[in-house]
């Protein structure tokens, strides 16, 4: 049976925010409505941070645990698991991004919080803009073509 897309549990959009010198930043209410006020923040690919709901994180941990020992499992453990930290929004909807994660993603002031379906991402503004601009038209058309089933 095909999986049904439910937009009520999918995150999308690019939302600009700022992060202060203490590492505090607002986290979008519309994403918190989906993943809750407590979630897991960890390193991701391309110098971004990835935000997982607690159930999604648990699912990912089970998948990593079930992998055969090898380089891929070790990479995931080093990047995702060892960099992961639970965070909770305060009464004002802010989170505290730990220094190590801010350094990894190069977060200094201007950031984007980006919905990526069942996860969210936090990017440095310049890194995000550079990454999105690096995607060629050919890559975009190939990706769109892959949607044809």
Which residue stretches of the chain have pLDDT < 50?
A: 1-5
Show contacts of 78-84: CB within 8 Å, 24+ apart. 79/42, 79/43, 79/44, 79/45, 80/42, 80/43, 80/44, 80/50, 81/42, 83/42, 83/43, 84/40, 84/41, 84/42, 84/57
Residues 18-28 pLDDT 10s: 999 999 999 99
Residue 135: per-residue pLDDT: 82
pTM of the model: 0.87
Residue 2: per-residue pLDDT: 40
Residue 148: per-residue pLDDT: 73
In the chain, the domains with their CATH numbers are: 12-146 (3.40.1550.20)
Residue 3: per-residue pLDDT: 47
């Amino acid at each position: 049976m095909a999986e049904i897309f439910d937009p009520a549990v999918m995150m999308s959009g690019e939302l600009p925010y700022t992060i202060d010198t203490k590492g505090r930043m607002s986290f979008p209410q519309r994403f918190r409505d989906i993943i809750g006020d407590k979630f897991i923040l960890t390193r991701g690919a391309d110098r971004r941070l990835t935000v997982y709901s607690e159930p999604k994180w648990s699912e990912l941990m089970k998948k990593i645990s079930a992998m055969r020992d090898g380089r891929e499992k070790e990479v995931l453990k080093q990047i995702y698991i060892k960099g992961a930290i639970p965070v909770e929004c305060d009464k004002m909807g802010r989170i505290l991004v730990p220094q190590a994660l801010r350094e990894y993603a190069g977060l200094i002031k201007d950031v984007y919080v980006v919905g990526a379906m069942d996860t969210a991402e936090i990017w440095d503004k310049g890194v995000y803009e550079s990454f999105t601009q690096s995607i060629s038209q050919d890559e975009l058309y190939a990706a769109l073509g892959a949607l044809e089933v």
